[in-house]
Structure 1
Amino acid sequence: MSAILGSLALSPHCVQAEEWNIFRGPSGNGIADTDASVPTEWSPEKNIAFRTELPGQGWSSPVVANGRIYVSAAIPADSESDSSKPEFDLSLVILDAKSGKLLKSVPLMQQTAEKSARIHKKNSHASPTPIVEGNRVFVHFGYQGTACVDLDGNLIWKNRDLYFKPVHGNGGTPVLVDDKLIFTCDGARDPKVVALNAETGAIAWEVDRPVEADRKFSFCTPSTIVVAGQRQVIAPGSDCVLALDPANGNVIWQVRYSGYSVIPKPVYHNGLVYLSTSYDTPSMLAIDPTGTGDVTDSHLKWSLNKNVPHTPSMLADEEFIYSVSDDGIAMCVEAATGDIVYKKRVGGGFSSSPILVDGKIYYTNESGETTVIRTGPEYKVLAKNDLGERTLASAAVDGNALIMRTADAIYRIEE
């Protein structure tokens, strides 16, 4: 294990370039490997390699590694339990990536009625996305706990020592940096960022958020960047974003803002960090990450406060930032200045994060319709494809195929 963890230092995102083994893909930014080329058009009857029904419920996005698809799910433990406070087996579901065959469903921990918090109608009890690295899979269930298993689902360790009072359920996915599994614990009170030892599951460090937000809960997945040779974990939360040293949790810099229930994963592009402040009125911020201390007044390069997403993460490519708001406004802005290039109504409500494959952006709305547009300063729709099933999960790419999760199933979309 020490040899595996040591090798992770070669890449800030700890991935194999050809595999979509973490949330938002090979570099954690929603962009597929340059060799990928997936269908532009599909329907329930066209370019569907398989549709496999999934047990239980969950909105974790699919990841693909070693010829397998991994998702998490909350599977009802007792059909006769109190429906207002059900119990669940929080599980890892493993499928064959080519055939769609359900290989295994592995219960990792039980969510009891006493700790079965009410969730938002757009959330689930299994929303964080698994991480596959080397011969291990890390499966996170927010306030319920975290587990590490081998590729067949055999338990290596489990940590349930970080329970906190949630608001609206669980959310953000961890990031794996060297020998640390790092995630946010932003609940009803005492928000913080935590690192576990990836080999043992023991708590490595905890960092309290240094602001007193009125609404403390958020659900953000951190991003990992390298600035002047130093790793930074970018962890937005309510009213502030922290840049942390992954080795010890020391705060490198912070920026204050007004916002809570922060969900979109930050992106790093051309030397700037881009993020959304989420609710109530989201702003898109561009931050220079080269400072130290509180850099709110010195390193915020620009901000934009119209048609910014509350939930979907952004894409960055060449000189542009692309986004889609929760109410379906696609926007392209200049990355250096924040100047708006275009705003166009896509149609529908959006929760999943877009992906970029072979010069094309795939925006999937909550009803399961995907609008494909060409990158660049002109908004050009190439296709609209409707699966007719509700989806809040973000798509993955497996070679020349899209892997999509709906409320009930996993799809492989391939010519």
Structure 2
Amino acid sequence: MNTKPTAARAWPVADVFLTARPTRMCGCRRWRRLRRSRWRCGMKLPFLNRMPDAEESGQRVRSARTTAFVSGVFSLWVGASLVWNSLQLRVANPLDSVQLAQLKKNLEQQPGDESLKLQIRKLDYQLRREFSGRRKMNVNGSYLLLAGLLALLASLKVIENHRRQLPMPQPAARDPEGERGRARLAVSGLSGVLGLLVVWGCLADRPLSGEGAGASGGSDAKASYATADEMKKEWPRFLGPGGAGLSAYTNVPQSWNGKTGQGIVWKAQIPLPGHNSPVVWKESVYVTGATATKREVYCFDTGSGKLRWKGEVKGISGSPTKPPAVMEDTGFAAPTCATDGERVYAIFANGDFAAFSPDGKLLWGKALGIPEVNYGYASSLVTWENLVFVLMDQGYPDEGKSFLRAIDGESGKTVWEKSRPVASSWTTPAVIEVKGKPQLITCSDPWVIAYDPKSGAEVWKAQILSGEIAPSTAFAGGQRADPLLFFIEPYSRVVAVKADGSGDVTHTHVAWEAFDGIPDICTPVTNGELLFLLNTPGSLTCYEANTGKKVWEKELAMDFKSSPCIAGGKLYMLSVSGKMIVVTAGRQFKKLGESELGEECTATPAFLDGRIYLRGEKNLYCIGS
């Protein structure tokens, strides 16, 4: 039988293309199977095994080698810099500074030495600026190191693939134009790397947003904010120094007559309406005014009442075009402005926030958005060292809309921000000192929360309040080793909380609570021994600060919206009708005087050396001899 030798099966080329040609839908495994099968079917398919020509392959590998060398050197340099910078962080850490520790030790021996305090502040600023700058250098350097390593690995991968598929060498003529192009490419790559290094150096040299802003870093740098002692002599915020409602002066007048002009040093009209209170710093009195379309800051001269300057808050990027819905009792300018001695800060109902220089120049502005608050936004600003604190409690506790933000006063940059699990409030924070450490106290429904003003870290909290919280915190040291804070749950109770706790102190640090004469708007005031509560209908109640025992109660038979203050051992209360009631801040009710202004008042007065500054419905008054 005749047989034919078996020949290798010949697959039609068309069949191969129709059934196994690689497409976007063809997986890598199928493609490799096709490559292996080409020899089994006795066919050679050039498209499956295309090799780059020598010139193309050579140019690619030379570029990869250049990139690998540059990125390798760059990564080594950045890595070494990061190691060196990490070692320097230990030296720059303010907590480990021997010089700073020695200065603080000297201050303990000489607590009244103002020059020593200034040295400590300057050195602390320098150390914090260097420390924060090095921390930022580490962060930026880590990103650059990662980019350099990725470029190095990618280049090495290209070189490795080239070695696996190295074609037979072929003679090729020199291409001078191509060589010049590759040279230009290498120079461009090196220039890009150097540009990254310059950017990194610039970023590393800058401090973190807002930290230490305002000083030059030299030994003669001037701090960009007033000292604590300077603050005590002025009235820099709502309720005066620290927000305690206590004046440092004893010679405050207690009688005048607005109708006859007796005791009125001057009277000045305020261009736009507002329910905010006057702030006084040296020769300047600051108030704000606003309508639905206009917002202004005013500076009056303390001696003559002359309007020194008027600054309009406008042209702020992101400012809402539609005005917020507000109640007439709140208006568009309810928050009181604040000053750190170098700048004055103002915020309005639409969330526009701005800083002015002492001569009226607009330094910066921010649009924080319209707060979702019933009645209108009314939380006042607070300054501490170089920071300005903005409290925006809005919505409901579980919505996550409330926040507390710390802003550097000089630059306007955000230093830190904390989300708050609280509902809307109309309170103003207070910075107090507890056992030598500052605490930033806030209160709303349901939490009272204390923060570290420097970092925003939570110190302690207590779930003790409910309802619409408008009265702010009252503070007293009294005779106790653990100072007390007093919080108001409107119409319901006053709660005294010990301020030396940590974590959740709801069940451990409530000292006492009481239920008579509870205010809904007015913030309480205390002299450390006694706590005074004044509610809107005019019920004045006195409690022992340490025990919560009620000492006395008196009905004044008039309405009040401004908060009571203490000056020279006397309690001052300004009614809505413009009548000032002065009583002894003691264990027995004793009325000392009653003075009529002749104009309605809802703002809280400022009490200075021999003067009282009152804001009426339309005018600003200076009371004195």
Asked if the contact 1:15/1:133 (under 8 Å) is kept, the reply is no
1:83 aligned partner: none
Moved more, 404-413 or 18-27: 18-27
Asked if the contact 1:15/1:27 (under 8 Å) is kept, the reply is no
1:20 aligned partner: 235
Cα 1:147–1:357, aligned 2, differ >3 Å: closer, same or farther? same
Cα shift at 1:188: 2.5
> Hey, what's the Cα distance between the residues in 1 that align with 2:463 and 2:527?
26
> Hey, what's the Cα distance between the residues in 1 that align with 2:553 and 2:567?
21
Counterpart AA for 1:234? I
Cα 1:194–1:142, aligned 2, differ >3 Å: closer, same or farther? farther
Counterpart AA for 1:60? N
Cα shift at 1:342: 0.7
- Gapped runs of 5+ residues in structure 1? 77-86
1:277 aligned partner: 489
2:622 aligned partner: 412
Report the count of equivalent residues.
395
- Gapped runs of 5+ residues in structure 2? 1-213, 216-220, 478-482
> Hey, what's the Cα distance between the residues in 1 that align with 2:395 and 2:222?
36
1:311 aligned partner: 521
Cα shift at 1:41: 4.0
1:29 aligned partner: 244
Instruction: Verify: 1:106 aligned to 2:311, yes or no.
Output: yes
Residues 317-328 of structure 1: pairs in structure 2 closer than 5 A: 317-328=527-538
2:279 aligned partner: 63
Residues 124-273 of structure 1: pairs in structure 2 closer than 5 A: 124-141=331-348, 143-189=350-396, 190-211=401-422, 216-270=423-477, 271-273=483-485
Counterpart AA for 2:327? H
Aligned with residue 38 of structure 1, among 253, 257, 264? 253
Alignment partner of 1:17: what SS?
A: helix
Instruction: Verify: 1:50 aligned to 2:266, yes or no.
Output: yes
Alignment partner of 1:16: what SS?
A: helix
More strand by share: 1
Cα offsets for 1:345-364 (capped at 9, x unmatched):
11211111112111111111
Cα shift at 1:222: 0.4
Counterpart AA for 1:90? R
Alignment partner of 1:291: what SS?
A: coil
Counterpart AA for 1:197? D
Instruction: Verify: 1:351 aligned to 2:567, yes or no.
Output: no
> Hey, what's the Cα distance between the residues in 2 that align with 1:113 and 1:201?
19
> Hey, what's the Cα distance between the residues in 1 that align with 2:489 and 2:258?
35
Alignment partner of 1:412: what SS?
A: strand
Asked if the contact 1:319/1:334 (under 8 Å) is kept, the reply is yes
> Percent identity at matched positions?
26
Cα offsets for 1:58-78 (capped at 9, x unmatched):
01100111211110111x4xx
2:191 aligned partner: none
CA-atom RMSD in angstroms: 2.0
Alignment partner of 1:232: what SS?
A: strand
Cα shift at 1:92: 0.4
Asked if the contact 2:225/2:340 (under 8 Å) is kept, the reply is no
> Hey, what's the Cα distance between the residues in 2 that align with 1:286 and 1:251?
20
Counterpart AA for 2:573? Y
> Which structure would you say has the larger Rg?
2
Cα 1:261–1:276, aligned 2, differ >3 Å: closer, same or farther? same
Cα offsets for 1:190-240 (capped at 9, x unmatched):
1222211222212222222235xxxx2111110111122221100111211
Cα 1:249–1:203, aligned 2, differ >3 Å: closer, same or farther? same
Cα shift at 1:142: 5.0
> Hey, what's the Cα distance between the residues in 1 that align with 2:415 and 2:222?
18
Instruction: Verify: 1:336 aligned to 2:546, yes or no.
Output: yes
2:510 aligned partner: 300
Cα offsets for 1:54-108 (capped at 9, x unmatched):
111001100111211110111x4xxxxxxxxxx3221101111111112222111
TM-score, normalised to structure 2's length? Answer: 0.60
2:204 aligned partner: none
> Hey, what's the Cα distance between the residues in 1 that align with 2:230 and 2:492?
31
> Hey, what's the Cα distance between the residues in 2 that align with 1:388 and 1:34?
26
